[in-house]
């Protein structure tokens, strides 16, 4: 009975010893390879820059409407264009939110008024 358990334990210990101590695991937010063809811009909803202090190379992680993630090379013109356009959309959306928030008290005032 002790034979199979001892054998399994020995194999497990051997596997742990064989694993290199200096192996590096990369976070899932790093780009190892870049997409070779351009994604249609209409499908891209957001992006994230990779962290250069953790990742071996710079990259842009695009997220599509379906939740798929693709790595783009930040040196390519189409990647730079997508980032610029997404930043502009984000800025426009935050400006709209500010305008809506500043006009809200005025509309509440009108809603609470009684007209004769």
Mean pLDDT of the residues in the chain: 76
Cα–Cα distance, 17 to 13 (Å, whole number):
6
Class of domain 30-103: mainly beta
Structural domain spans, the chain: 30-103
- B/e letters for 103-113, b = 16+ CB within 10 Å, e = fewer, are eeeeeeeeeee
Residue 113's pLDDT is what?
45
Q: How big is the CA angle at 90 (ends 85 and 91), to the nearest 5 degrees? A: 95
pLDDT tens string 19-74: 444 444 445 689 999 998 999 999 999 999 998 888 999 999 999 999 999 999 99
Residue 12's pLDDT is what?
53
Tokens 């800025």 -> residue: 91
Question: 0.75 cut: is pTM over it?
Answer: no
pLDDT at 104 over 70: no
Residue 95's pLDDT is what?
76
């Amino acid at each position: 009975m002790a034979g199979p358990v001892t054998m399994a334990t020995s194999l497990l210990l051997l596997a742990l010893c064989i694993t290199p101590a200096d192996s590096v695991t990369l976070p899932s937010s790093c780009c190892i390879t870049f997409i070779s063809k351009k994604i249609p811009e209409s499908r891209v909803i957001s992006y994230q820059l990779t962290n250069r202090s953790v990742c071996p190379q710079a990259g842009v992680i695009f997220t599509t409407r379906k939740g798929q993630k693709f790595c783009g090379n930040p040196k390519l013109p189409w990647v730079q264009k997508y980032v610029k356009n997404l930043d502009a959309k984000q800025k426009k959306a935050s400006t709209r939110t500010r305008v809506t928030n500043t006009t809200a008290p005025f509309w509440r005032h009108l809603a609470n008024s009684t007209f004769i």
